[in-house]
Amino acid sequence: MGRLMGTSHARLRSHNRMGVVIPHNKATAELETVVMPLPDKIVLPMQQHIGAQCAPLVKRRDHVDAGQLVGHAEARTTADIFSPVSGSVTEIRSLYYSNGRTDVAIVIEPDGEQTVAETVAPPVVTDYASLVEAVKGSGIVGLGGAGYPTGLKMDADLSAVDCWLVNGAECEPYLSSDYREMMEHPDDILAGIGTCLDLSGVPRALICIEDNKPKAIELLRTMAADDARIGVLELPARYPQGASRVILKNAMGRAVKRGGHLTDVGAILFNVTTMSEISKYLKTGMPLIKRRITVMGDAIENPMNLEVLIGTPTGEILEFCGLSRKPAKVIAGGPMMGITQIDMDYPVVRQQSGLLAFSEDLCGRHETTACIHCDKCIGSCPMRLSPISIQKAYRKADVAELDRLMADLCVGCGICSYVCPAKQPLTQSVGLASRLLKAEQRKARGRG
Ligand code: SF4
Ligand code: SF4
């Protein structure tokens, strides 16, 4: 793949063709971020990450400050939750999501003062162990959508890791939140990478960006030119370029075994905004309490990239951006991997990159017809799975067959449903199959 060190690798370009070409619809890309005023209320779910749900540390009528720890779990895999505002706790309530998941949320009424918690102070970081501890206390999770606790991801043996991948692919249509981070905060991204490389001993980093973002590629190449350890890799704009196994293969030509981790093959992967947030946290000590989302769709009057406090209700965001027509579907996240919002009181969570509102014209219901055995779902799956076979095995609850078909490797990208002419609910079926198989695997290991 060419030389990897020094500026000579700045023109490095991947030619791997995994994934499919889909319309980008990134009309908000060149719109500078708008900061949304304080919402009327904050709804703060306790499960905004992969891992153990946090328990509320506050109760009704308590006063909280901005940046105050309000949710915590005594578990290794979790990420603390912090209040984005100063104000009063008005309620602890239940949430029921459209995908069947439930959660508990702290509801806070802002007092408008935004007084900052006394605990907020830049962390003291002197070595890699203290960097990991600092990030664990920052509330930062994978901000590209994964939601895996970032401090925990860093708390691994990196001695065999030779490249820190930084994911700026942002392959989902409509979303331009990461692109704006690259255009507006390239210095924070590069400072975060520099700190991680300096303290971890990982020798180099590759910022991976799809070729539909030439300005970001040019900007980061120019700004990183003085650091021979950091390169910018141009990847073809093919969905799902940003999926971890896909980007690993396309950027480094490496593959992870089933059940393995990227570190097994010498890589660690962060989303570009995650890297930037680490840098901001090290400077200010303010934990993750806000993020940028792309608000778009044919029902949105003023599409934009919007900085919102985590916990801002969907309805208040739609009101701020305006609706040009009645939305038939509101999606938290992108159109391929996001989840439908059924309650406009439900808030932005920290791993959410977008909020989309579509009219009936764009998301009218489609009739499902019988499979015509065209094999398009198989040919398009980036994980080389057979979605239709997995769907059949799932309907028979045939766990042995799901294991043989490796349903657990599904990354939920949505391509199989997108390409299916029969409109079979393949993504949903494979997602459920994957969950079932993983539960059985956990049981077999005696953890379930
Ligand atoms: S089976 Fe999973 S990974 Fe494959 S196309 Fe469907 S959603 Fe994507
Ligand atoms: S894409 Fe749809 S119609 Fe074609 S084989 Fe897969 S499930 Fe059947």
Cα 381 to ligand 2 centre (Å): 12
Rounded distance, CA 247 to CA 240, Å? 9
Give me the sheet containing 230-235, strands edge to edge: 230-235, 205-210, 163-168, 267-271
Q: What mean pLDDT comes out for the span 118-143?
A: 97
Q: Which residue has the higher pLDDT, 446 or 435?
A: 435
Q: What mean pLDDT comes out for the span 199-209?
A: 97
- Is 271 buried (19+), middle (13-18) or exposed (0-12) by CB count in 10 A? buried
Q: What mean pLDDT comes out for the span 387-409?
A: 96
Strand partners, 149: 141
Per-residue model confidence (pLDDT) at position 7: 32
Give the pLDDT band (50/70/90) at residue 17. Answer: low
Per-residue model confidence (pLDDT) at position 99: 72
State yes or no: pLDDT of 121 exceeds 80: yes
Q: What mean pLDDT comes out for the span 268-285?
A: 97
State yes or no: pLDDT of 45 exceeds 60: yes
State yes or no: pLDDT of 9 exceeds 50: no
Average pLDDT of the residues of the chain: 92
Q: How far is CA 284 from the centre of its chain?
A: 23
Strand partners, 244: none
Neighbours of 301 (CB within 10 A): 11
Which ligand neighbours the alpha carbon of 409 most closely? 1
SS3 state at 331:
strand
Cα 384 to ligand 1 centre (Å): 8
SS3 state at 301:
coil
Q: Where are the domains of the chain?
A: 7-31+141-284, 376-444
Rounded distance, CA 81 to CA 58, Å? 12
Q: Which residue has the higher pLDDT, 4 or 33?
A: 33
Q: What mean pLDDT comes out for the span 403-432?
A: 94
* Residue closest to 118 by CA, chosen among 65, 80, 82: 65
Report whether residue 415 contacts ligand 1, using a CB cutoff of 6 Å: yes
Q: Which residue has the higher pLDDT, 126 or 342?
A: 126
What is the residue type of 312? T
Q: What are 326-351's pLDDT values in tens digits? A: 999 999 999 999 988 988 999 999 99
**What are the contacts of 255-261 at 24+ separation with CB within 8 A?**
258/406, 258/408, 258/409, 261/156
Q: What mean pLDDT comes out for the span 208-227?
A: 96
Which ligand 1 atom sits closest to the C-alpha of 390? 1
Question: For the ranges 203-207, 213-217, 242-246, which has the lowest average pLDDT?
Answer: 242-246
* Contacts of residue 330, Cβ cutoff 8 Å, sequence gap at least 6: 314, 318, 340, 341, 344, 355, 356, 357, 358
Q: What mean pLDDT comes out for the span 380-409?
A: 95
* Residue closest to 61 by CA, chosen among 40, 95, 87, 81: 87
Per-residue model confidence (pLDDT) at position 364: 66
Strand partners, 169: none
Q: What mean pLDDT comes out for the span 373-391?
A: 94
Per-residue model confidence (pLDDT) at position 362: 84
Q: What are 77-104's pLDDT values in tens digits? A: 999 999 999 999 999 999 887 777 889 9
Report whether residue 372 contacts ligand 2, using a CB cutoff of 6 Å: yes
Cα 56 to ligand 1 centre (Å): 35
Give the pLDDT band (50/70/90) at residue 314. Answer: very high
Strand partners, 102: 96
Q: What mean pLDDT comes out for the span 268-276?
A: 97
Neighbours of 37 (CB within 10 A): 8
State yes or no: pLDDT of 13 exceeds 70: no
- Whose CA is closest to atom 3 on ligand 1? 410
Question: For the ranges 8-17, 50-59, 402-411, which has the lowest average pLDDT?
Answer: 8-17
Instruction: For ligand 2, pick from 373, 389, 429 the residue to mutate: most ligand atoms within 8 Å of CB.
Output: 373
Per CATH, the number for 7-31+141-284 is 3.40.50.11540
Angstrom CA distances, 170 to 87, 199, 348, 352, 418, stand at 35, 27, 18, 13, 18
User: Read out DSSP for 143-212?
Assistant: TTTT--BHHHHHSS--TT--EEEEEE---STT--HHHHHHHH-HHHHHHHHHHHHHHH----EEEEEETT
- Whose CA is closest to atom 2 on ligand 1? 410
Per-residue model confidence (pLDDT) at position 100: 76
Per-residue model confidence (pLDDT) at position 18: 65
Give the pLDDT band (50/70/90) at residue 447. Answer: low
Angle between the 272-284 and 128-136 helix axes, to the nearest 10 degrees? Answer: 100
Classify the C-alpha dihedral 158-159-161-165 as positive or negative: positive
Residue 35: enclosing H or E segment and its boundaries?
strand 34-35
